[in-house]
Amino acid sequence: MSDRRPLIAGNWKMNCLRDDGLALASGLASKLSGASERPECDILLCPPATLLADVVGVLGHCDIHAGGQDCHFDKSGAHTGDIAASMLADIGASHVILGHSERRADHGESSTIIRQKTIAAHNAGLTAVVCVGETEQERDLGAAIAVVCGQMDVSLPEDATAENTVIAYEPVWAIGTGRTAAVADVEEMHAAIRRKLKERFADGDAFRILYGGSVKPSNAAELLAVENVDGALVGGASLKVEDFWGIVSACK
């Protein structure tokens, strides 16, 4: 048993208007306050930027963290539509997701940019949830581990520690598709990520490595039991209180 406390993170993506988002956050806060035992994991909600301040308000002092889904690498300036890491921290965020495959694809984000964003997040006092993952074609070519390790080499700055950085392994072909990676493949990839972390960082054994890709209540326990899987990054199933709580409850 590792002593890494699991993290279950919900990525709401571009979903939820105000009423739905606040109902979701308050539903989860009620689940937590009504639970007979404290869940065996940390919980993080990453709503759209428009709802972040309100979600922080709804969560109040309950032990659920809130985070952004992206930030810019500059501290401030002429970047229309972007959000600085310090702005997320300023409204009460503790984390920020960086390098999600949807941002890599939709916004052309390279691992070099993600590294700069990760440094900006750290400088603002945020924990960066850095996403890596291979495409289906890369897996079919037998290149999955090389691709993910290459993304880690560039995306993770030297100042990364287990305190300020979480890795999320998300095979691109498993995101939002209902397909999950085979347990043996998850185990192999997380072991490779752990080796990489230990090679590069003194506290590499303490980093949390999340799995993401169609995690739901019915498969969460099996995935969370895999060695070196220290939690989950959850998209679709984070949009329903019962589903997300089911995943939280699968942490034993």
Catalytic site positions? 100, 170
Letters for 142-181 (x = contact with ligand PEP by CB under 6 A, - = none) are ----------------------------x----xx-----
Cβ-closest residue to ligand PEP?
A: 235
Instruction: Please identify, using beta-carbon distances, which residue of 10 and 39 lies nearer to ligand PEP.
Output: 10
Q: Are 191 and 227 in contact (CB under 8 A)?
A: yes
Distance CA 239, CA 51 (A): 14
- Binding to ligand PEP in span 178-237, by CB under 6 A: 212-215, 233-237
Burial (CB < 10 A; 0-12, 13-18, 19+), residue 227, is: exposed
For the CB of residue 215, give the shortest distance to ligand PEP in the complex, in Å: 5
Instruction: Please identify, using beta-carbon distances, which residue of 85 and 233 lies nearer to ligand PEP.
Output: 233
Residue 98: name the closest of 53, 68, 66, 74 by CA. 68
Residue 219, C-beta contacts closer than 8 angstroms, at least 6 positions apart: 180
Place of tokens 């942490």: 251
Instruction: Please identify, using beta-carbon distances, which residue of 215 and 250 lies nearer to ligand PEP.
Output: 215
Round to the nearest angstrom and report the end-to-end CA distance of the chain.
Answer: 11
Helix (H) or strand (E) holding 65: strand 65-68
- Binding to ligand PEP in span 20-49, by CB under 6 A: none
Which residues belong to the annotated binding site for substrate? 11-13, 176, 214, 235-236
Q: Where do contacts with ligand PEP occur on this chain (CB under 6 A)?
A: 11, 13, 170, 175-176, 212-215, 233-237
Which residues belong to the annotated binding site? 11-13, 176, 214, 235-236
